[in-house]
Copies of this chain bind each other. A is one copy, B any other.
Amino acid sequence: MSEKKELVVVLLSSGMDSAVCASIAARDYRVAFIHFQYGQKSCLKELECFKKLVDFFKPELYKVVELPFLKEFGGSSLTSSELEIPKEDRPGEIPSTYVPFRNGIFLSIAGAWAEVIGAKKVFIGANEVDYSGYPDCRGEFLEAMQKALNLGTRPETQIEIVAPLLRLKKAEIVKLGIKLGTPFELTWSCYREGNIACGNCASCKLRLNAFKEAGVTDPIPYEGF
């Protein structure tokens, strides 16, 4: 018999960070997963991995939310077929893969769902150490978003945005995932389309470095490796 009483919402892209975040949440709580399809180039692969993660974690509830307008808005190489995904992030610059206010939109929607299903926590795998410099991954943004969420919902709704990976180095996230049994073989971090991770985009590089530093073999295959 489970003794986990509290239900929490987890944002699960199927990337390595959100999968470790799901492991942390599932250790202590009943979980409800939410996944977003917004026309990102890797959306089909992410959805495939999300379904496998659902099979693995067996959340109490899960929801796939379609946000095709984010691709229509444009302004990001992650969604626009006209902009190429760069191989490197330049330090101090917000990369072209930034999607305008993505986590703000995701947290607003996840918060609305949390209010309806009575969840008091929303878990997000945001990380502000080894990250791509996205403004919507920083702690101060998450705090402001939590405040907005609580002012814009019913007075009895008090939702905490929980970001357990916020201040961890990427290699520490890998180690934590290994310890918790995160199924990294079911995750996907590559920004590009395709069935095998490119190993060359900024996201693949961050992930490969993290596994290397952690002294662990990344279980997913990469092109040309």
Contact = CB atoms under 8 A, between A and B. Distances in A.
A70 interface: yes
A144 B147 CA distance: 6
Nearest to A109: B105
Nearest to A105: B108
Q: How many copies does the complex hold?
A: 2
A32 to B, nearest CB: 11
Tell me if A's interface is mostly helix, strand, loop or mixed.
helix
Contacts of A138: 151
A101 B105 contact: no
A143 to B, nearest CB: 8
A170 to B, nearest CB: 21
B155 A151 contact: no
Contacts of A99: 112
Interface string A53-76: 000000000010110111011110
Indicate the size class of the contact surface on chain A. Answer: 35 or more
A136 B149 CA distance: 9
A98 B153 CA distance: 9
Interface of A: 63, 65-66, 68-70, 72-75, 94, 98-105, 108-109, 111-113, 115-116, 135-136, 138, 140-141, 144-145, 147-149, 151-155
29 contacts: A63-B69, A65-B69, A66-B68, A66-B69, A73-B113, A75-B116, A94-B155, A100-B111, A100-B112, A100-B113, A100-B115, A101-B111, A101-B115, A104-B108, A104-B112, A104-B149, A104-B153, A105-B112, A135-B153, A135-B154, A135-B155, A136-B152, A138-B151, A141-B152, A144-B144, A144-B151, A145-B152, A147-B148, A148-B148
